[in-house]
């Protein structure tokens, strides 16, 4: 595993937030900034760090309420606009003018929002299995598990349970792959293995998806003429092929669509196709 330092900073509302800093790379080029999905954390991007650390500085964040970041006492703040402000504060604190954003699911939404807020921050972006429009089927599947605590006796047990629940997302994975997955999204606590996020994130998620959905397509206007990769899992139930194709048409010549075969929501960057897609994006930027 690539070497990193655990670092912390304070959000504008006083929460202690965590990120991994995989140092290296040309200080004159933007870093790779990795933003995870709804229930996930910085560990998801270990394959990205393993491949690119040294040539690039890699930063991987834990959103508030995930991983080593503090939980928010006000769950209604678990929203993309809050996360976007947290990310921008980190960039400001580190003196980073722009970055190559790698955003999975929620992290991709936050990337699009930051582009709409401060598009000069976006040196390039990989949007992983997410767009301005999502499929109801995927949202309903996420509702079945988000915010529901689980206890396991070991990471192997956790991986087996997750593999049983989500075998159609990664149908080619072995028991070892699922245990690796569990180690990324769970932690040890009191001799047991638990999910590594604040269960209260489910409250605003449910409220937001019960409400009328806003039109997010105008956010893509801020990414035109920028290097962008749209990554999609072939089996994804959240991000349809039609929406992905429409995004590429809206983004123009700077965009590439990559479909990862036999993977659902979302590609994990353990796939050669995912890493190769990011390599091509970085070649266009670097």
Per-residue confidence (pLDDT) for residue 236, from 0 to 100? 98
Please report the sign of the dihedral spanned by the C-alpha atoms of residue 80, residue 251, residue 138, residue 197: negative
Per-residue confidence (pLDDT) for residue 213, from 0 to 100? 87
b/e code 141-159 from CB counts within 10 Å (16+ = b): bbeeebbeeeebeebbebb
Q: Does residue 185 carry a pLDDT above 90?
A: yes
pLDDT band at residue 212 under the 50/70/90 scheme: confident
Per-residue confidence (pLDDT) for residue 286, from 0 to 100? 80
Query: How buried is residue 28: exposed, middle or buried, by Cβ count under 10 Å (0-12/13-18/19+)?
Result: exposed
Query: How buried is residue 171: exposed, middle or buried, by Cβ count under 10 Å (0-12/13-18/19+)?
Result: exposed
Q: Does residue 225 carry a pLDDT above 90?
A: no
How confident is the model over 231-269, as pLDDT tens digits?
A: 999 999 999 999 999 999 999 988 999 999 999 999 999
Report the percentage of the chain scoring pLDDT > 90.
Answer: 95
**Neighbouring residues of 211: CB distance < 8 A, sequence distance ≥ 6:** none
- How far is 78 from 140, CA to CA, in rounded Å? 19
The length of the chain in residues reads: 286
- How far is 251 from 226, CA to CA, in rounded Å? 8
Q: Are strands 228-233 and 255-260 parallel, antiparallel or unpaired?
A: parallel
How confident is the model over 120-144, as pLDDT tens digits?
A: 999 999 999 999 999 999 999 999 9
pLDDT band at residue 115 under the 50/70/90 scheme: very high
Domains of the chain: 5-142+201-285 (3.40.50.1820)
How confident is the model over 24-40, as pLDDT tens digits?
A: 999 999 999 999 999 99
Per-residue confidence (pLDDT) for residue 178, from 0 to 100? 98
Q: Does residue 52 carry a pLDDT above 90?
A: yes
pTM recorded for the entire structure: 0.98
**What is the arithmetic mean of pLDDT over 54-77?**
98
């Amino acid at each position: 595993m690539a070497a990193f330092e655990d670092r912390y900073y304070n959000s504008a509302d006083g929460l202690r937030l965590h990120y991994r800093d995989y140092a290296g790379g040309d200080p004159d080029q933007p870093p790779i900034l990795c933003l995870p999905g709804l229930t996930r954390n910085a560990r998801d991007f270990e394959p990205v760090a393993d491949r690119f650390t040294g040539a690039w500085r890699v930063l991987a964040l834990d959103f508030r309420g995930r991983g080593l970041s503090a939980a928010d006492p006000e769950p209604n703040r678990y929203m993309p606009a809050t996360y976007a402000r947290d990310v921008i504060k980190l960039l400001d604190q580190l003196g980073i003018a722009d970055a190559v954003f790698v955003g999975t699911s929620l992290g991709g939404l936050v990337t699009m929002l930051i582009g709409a807020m401060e598009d000069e921050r976006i040196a390039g972006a990989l949007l992983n299995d997410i767009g301005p429009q999502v499929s109801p089927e995927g949202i309903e599947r996420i509702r079945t598990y988000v915010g529901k605590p689980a206890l396991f006796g070991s990471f192997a047990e956790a991986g087996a349970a997750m593999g049983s629940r989500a075998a159609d997302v990664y149908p080619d994975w072995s028991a070892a792959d699922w245990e690796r997955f569990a180690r990324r999204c769970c932690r040890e606590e009191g001799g047991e293995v638990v999910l590594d996020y604040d269960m209260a994130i489910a409250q605003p998620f449910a409220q937001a998806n019960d409400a009328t959905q806003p039109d997010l397509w105008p956010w893509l206007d801020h990414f035109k003429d920028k290097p962008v990769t749209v990554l999609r899992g072939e089996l994804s139930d959240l991000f349809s092929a039609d929406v992905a194709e429409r995004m590429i048409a809206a983004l123009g010549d700077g965009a590439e669509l990559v479909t990862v075969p036999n993977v659902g929501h979302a590609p994990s960057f353990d796939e050669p196709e995912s890493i190769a897609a990011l390599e091509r994006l970085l070649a266009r930027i670097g």
